[in-house]
Structure 1
Amino acid sequence: MSPESQASEALPSRRRRTPRGGRHRGDESFLLPPGSPTLVLAVPGAARRAGTEIAAELARLVEIEHTGQPAHVGYVEGDEAGLPAVLAGLTQGDPDEPAAVVVPMSTGPDPALESAVRAAVAAAPAPAVAAEPLGPHPLIAEALHDRLADAGLARADRIRMMTMVTGASGFVVATPGGPSAVRQAEVTSVLLASRLAAPVFTASLGDEMAVRGAADQLRASGAASVALAPHLIGLEPEWEYVAAAAAAIGAAHSGPLGAHPALARLAALRYVEALATALAG
């Protein structure tokens, strides 16, 4: 089953009762009825810093491609567009539903971000629900593949009918976070290796020795050239380390996942999962 099919099957309409006028839109999207809980994207860091345009574009994609309702962006640091203030400005529509579902903008476990989300949800004046991070999920591997292809480091997906020459024969998926984040990113690496038909190793972006060790293993196994694939959206502070990490192993690197349509799809997916759980509770 393709990642697109998996995502579409995981985007049901309301499970507890019939939606108020909601309907599915195509195989990958659905429209939320008016008055549905607001989808809020929780972004690490503060507003007015590098990468904030990514969050705005993801919110736009979520609205126009999936929900039909505005998605809000709340930052976990600073007062401008702060997550607590965003939640405080929302009102509850249906008394049987939360006012908001907060989706952490991270590709895997991020204890600091998730703790900030839980604290904001607990302090919100109207009921709110915290969703799971975007990854791991097969769609992350799809987005990584696309970004590598965009940078000329991997052959593009056959579905896109492109014939770009592969620029690397081994890949390091560099993820922010510690051992737990690396373990979860390894799931994505296996899927990416299958898509690329090339070896892929996983390492913590903050562990220079781990990144170097992964590159050494790839070269020892016969990879003539190595590329680094950042396992992050571009909103995270760790994005600043990517260029140095790639240079340290003599590798090129792709850009961040950014406002990839797969991430917008995943935000809608996490919203639906969290809301279904809350309504079933």
Structure 2
Amino acid sequence: MPRTRQPARPARGGTGVRPAPTLVVVAHGSRDARALRTVLGLLDRVRDIRPGLDVRLGHIELNEPLLPDTLARVGTGEAVLVPLLLGRGHHVKHDLPRATAAEPGLRSRIAAPLGPHPLLVEALYGRLVEAGWRPGDPGSRSAAVVLAAAGSRDPDSVLDTRRTARMLGERLGGVPVVPAYASAATPTVPVALRALAARGRHRVAVASYFTAPGRFAAAAADAAPGIAAAPLGAHPAMVRLLLHRYDRAVAHGAPADERTRASA
């Protein structure tokens, strides 16, 4: 597994000023090497916007550094975990609290996942435009978008994806947006595309509801009949959203072991 450098940048602060909590960005992990490069690029942009903030990376699986190792290296003090995940699900509800509980000497908080949020929708919209979607010209009644997501058995995660689809549809001026999934939930992306075609929606784009390249994102793009947007990656709105989640968790103030979560 690739090893990553964890630059230690202490937060600014003079005598008597409490250091800002360490920002620990929690990525899922992927066997696709592009995923790690994408996440590291996102973190570099976060550091550019917030110089002096100690920003570190931890993975749930598949890539180093793994989250428990990152938390152990932070040691004592305070940390805010921001999941680089798009909705509520098993990782957010179980894996992250378990990891923080294993480091009782570290005061930690778990921020809300990235979605749903208007900034996330702005990133989705921006990636569609980059791929060739024409703003303000939906192409009559034949246009639609499939929001391709990883999928989850957790009903809250499914609800979060559906809410994002509704918000993206509003951002697109009323174009139908249908959520579809690579695993664990239905419909699949090909099934959603066939259903839209049967309804006369032949100009269909696929929006990539993935933070980075990987197997699921590639399969969704391959199924697209036309426009296939890139994963969210280091889009400027993603950088702003990650820091927004961190700031809200800092303001909320409750540690993870009190089982609280920062609100959207």
TM-score range for the pair, normalised by the shorter chain length: 0.7 to 0.9
Deviation at 1:83, TM superposition (A): 1.4
Query: In 2, Cα distance between the equivalents of 1:187 and 1:166?
Result: 21
2:157 aligned partner: 181
Do the aligned partners of 1:47 and 1:75 also contact (CA within 8 Å) in 2? no
Q: Give 1:112 shift.
A: 3.3
Instruction: Compute the displacement of 1:244 (Å).
Output: 4.1
2:97 is the counterpart of 1:126:
no
Contact 1:58 1:264 (8 Å CA) reproduced = yes
Task: Give deviations 1:151-199, integer Å, cap 9, x for gaps.
Answer: 11x125x8xxxxxx76882111111123533321222222222222222
Deviations 1:49-95 (Å, cap 9, x if unpaired)? 331112112112222224641311111225732211111112445xx
Decide whether aligned partners of structure 1 residues 193 and 209 sit closer, same or farther in structure 2, where only a CA change above 3 A counts: closer
Distance verdict in 2 for CA 1:34–1:276, change over 3 Å: closer
Matched, 1:204 2:168: no
Normalising to structure 1: TM-score of the pair?
A: 0.72
One-letter identity of the residue aligned with 2:40: A
Question: 1:44, 1:113 within 8 Å by CA — same for their partners in 2?
Answer: no
1:147–1:254 Cα contact (<8 Å) kept: yes
Identical-residue share of aligned pairs (%): 33
Tell me, which stretches of 5 or more residues in structure 1 are unaligned? Answer: 1-19, 22-32, 94-98, 159-164
1:74-85 to 2 correspondence within 5 Å?
A: 74-77=58-61, 80-85=64-69
Structure-2 change in CA distance of 1:204 and 1:181 (3 Å) = farther
CA contact (8 A) 1:44 1:236 kept: no
Residues paired across the two proteins, number: 236
Equivalent-residue separation in structure 2 for 1:234 and 1:172 (angstroms):
18
Q: Provide the rounded CA distance (Å) in 1 between the counterparts of 2:178 and 2:35.
A: 26
Q: Residue by residue, what CA displacement relative to the aligned partner does 1:129-152 show, whole Å, maximum 9, x if unpaired?
A: 222211110111111111111111
Q: Quick check: 1:175–1:182 contact (8 Å CA) kept in 2?
A: no
User: 258, 262, 268: which one pairs with 2:233?
Assistant: 258
1:221: Cα distance to partner?
4.1
TM (normalized to structure 2)? Answer: 0.76
Match of 1:50 in 2: 34
SS in 1 for 2:80: strand
1:1-281 counterparts in 2 under 5 A?
Answer: 35-45=19-29, 49-66=33-50, 68-77=52-61, 80-93=64-77, 99-112=78-91, 114-124=93-103, 125-152=105-132, 154-156=133-135, 169-178=143-152, 179-197=155-173, 198-206=175-183, 209-234=187-212, 238-246=216-224, 250-279=225-254
RMSD: 3.0
